[in-house]
Amino acid sequence: MRYQEQGGLHEDLLNLKWTTPGNILAAITNFAGATLTIAELEARKLHHDSTELITRAVQPALWLLIFGEVLARVRAIPTGNLSYIDFMTPGILAQSVLFIAIFYGIAVIWERDLGILHKLLASPAPRAALVLGKALSAGERGLSQAVIIYLLALALGVRINWTITAVVGVLVVVVLGSALFSTFSLIVACLVRTRERFMGVGQLLTMPLFFASNAIYPISIMPIWLQTISQVNPLTYEVDALRALMIVGGPTVYGLMVDLAMLLVTIAILVIMAARLYPRVIF
């Protein structure tokens, strides 16, 4: 496949060579507009049918109520000054965001089979805007998970940091985490191309991503080889940021700025990759 996708950003940039800053501003507005339109499309769908959001609440509830309560009694995991349930709650938030986002890419296969994708790709919306819009709409679903986890945490007596900056920070990280893993999922979908294969690969990816992270135990108790893997796993940085923001006295291993930078850089790389693969799904 030597063909290189032309048009799109590449062509837009060529056309911009002799133009004014005003045109560059217009291109940016155009990009943002298309991105938000795709996010709006998904938000409207959720609004028409939100049963999905309610059934999604069950899994994190089980993790917190059963797994969390049992392990808290065992006291096997060193969590520093935090109780185990305090330690674990941000991890379970990250996990439930991951579990939704990692299957999000199947939508692209679905939309191709329906023909919706054909029409989106024949529209002037930049490819990267289509991808980023999808990523943001995964964030919408992630936010609903955040609401559920906050409610569960309240019921379980988790020491939540309720300051506005902390809560807003948590929501931002949730959107970033959703965007990151949903774009990763989109790339997988573009590569495997069928629903059946996608479900298989999705299952295969979820558990390693979850267990090779600091979501339910600190990295320091892992064997060295697993520590290495965990340190390149973006979920680790998402959890690290959530733990610092969500819990009173929550520690951060890497520092918030490093966490955010890791997430943003990874998202940028994934969106660029996905924008190149996306149009090929229909070949």
φ/ψ bin of 157: left (φ > 0), alpha (ψ from -120 to 50), beta (otherwise): left
> Which residues in the 250-279 window bind another protein by CB under 8 A?
279
Smallest separation, CB 39 to another protein (Å) = 11
Angle CA 84–85–88, to nearest 5: 85
Among candidate residues 72, 84, 98, 274, the one with its CA nearest the CA of residue 174: 98
Among the listed ranges 45-53, 74-82, 142-150, 203-211, the one in contact with another protein (CB under 8 A) is 45-53
Contact 180, 263 (CB under 8 A): yes
Out of 53, 57, 77, 121, the residue judged to bind another protein by CB under 8 A: 121
Residue closer to another protein, measured from CB, 121 or 253: 121
> Residues 97 to 116: which contact another protein by CB under 8 A?
113-116
Residues 6+ apart with CB under 8 A from 136: 35, 36, 38, 39, 175, 179
Closest separation between CB of residue 38 and another protein, Å? Answer: 8
Provide the H-helix boundaries in the chain: 8-16, 21-48, 51-55, 58-62, 69-74, 84-101, 106-114, 116-121, 127-155, 164-192, 195-211, 224-232, 234-246, 256-277
CB 214 within 8 A of CB 197: no
Q: Which of 20, 21, 22, 49 forms a contact with another protein (CB under 8 A)? A: 49
Q: Can you read off the two tokens belonging to residue 243?
A: 């733990």
The distance of closest approach from Cβ of residue 270 to another protein in the complex, given in angstroms and rounded to an integer, is 22
* Shortest CB 108 distance to another protein, Å: 14
CB nearer another protein, residue 106 or residue 263:
106
Examine residue 66 and tell whether it contacts another protein (CB under 8 A): no
Considering only residues 221 to 240 of the shown chain, the ones binding another protein according to CB under 8 A are: none
Mask: binding to another protein, 132-171, rule CB under 8 A, as x and -?
Answer: ----------------------------------------
Under the binding rule (CB under 8 A), the answer on residue 55 touching another protein is: no
**To the nearest whole angstrom, how small is the minimum distance from the Cβ of residue 22 to another protein?**
16
Nearest-5° Cα angle at 39, 36 to 40:
85
DSSP designation for 20: -
Q: Which residues bind another protein (CB under 8 A)?
A: 3, 6-8, 11-12, 14-15, 17-18, 30, 33-34, 37, 40-41, 44-45, 48-49, 113-116, 118-126, 279, 282-283
